[in-house]
Amino acid sequence: MSHDAYSDDHIADILREVRSVAMIGASANASRPSYFVLKYLLAKGYTVTPVNPGHGGTMILGRPVAAALSELPAPVDMVDIFRNSEAALEVTREAIRIKDRLGIKVIWMQLSVRNDLAAAEAEAAGLRVVMNRCPKIEYGRLSGEIGWVGFNSGVISSQRPKLAASGLQSLRIADKR
């Protein structure tokens, strides 16, 4: 699969199918992007477990923090990597080693995180991969809410945005999880 572009259907399918997320590199700092994404995904009904060795045993947004991916109980549908591109390879390899125990189906690398070797190894192990994307942004974009969830579209309007044609109308249903 080419990781230079993803179809809306590919991203939407992942966001619809995933229920539980391990967020690698989650931060307790409310000004960090991982904190915003964690908060957003929780609000959309996903079960998100923060993973950060420096915060293991504490809580972030009411969720217990694991020190390592290997500490998590099943199920974990998606591993969301908030680490740099180099670190993504080892995170991916760990996910591959324990994918059957946890039920991992997707490796998602956040904005500016791209590791083609990690992607190739994950796909060879039967996992789906998304790189250099944010599930918060993709959810908002595909559901039509991106104009009112903190992104400056450059257009001022009092009207709520319409769902995109390819849209995630079923994600609106998923909001009620």
Q: How far is CA 1 from CA 10, 116, 131, in A?
A: 11, 11, 12
- Fill in the amino acid letter for 110: Q
Set out the domains of the chain in order of their start, with CATH numbers: 8-133 (3.40.50.720)
| 11-28 tens-digit pLDDT | 999 999 999 999 999 999
149 pLDDT more than 90: no
Mean pLDDT of 92-117: 98
Please give the Cα distance from 104 to 126 (Å, whole number): 10
Contacts with 149 (C-beta within 8 Å, 6 or more apart), sequence order? 40, 136, 140
CB contact at 8 A, 79 and 69: yes
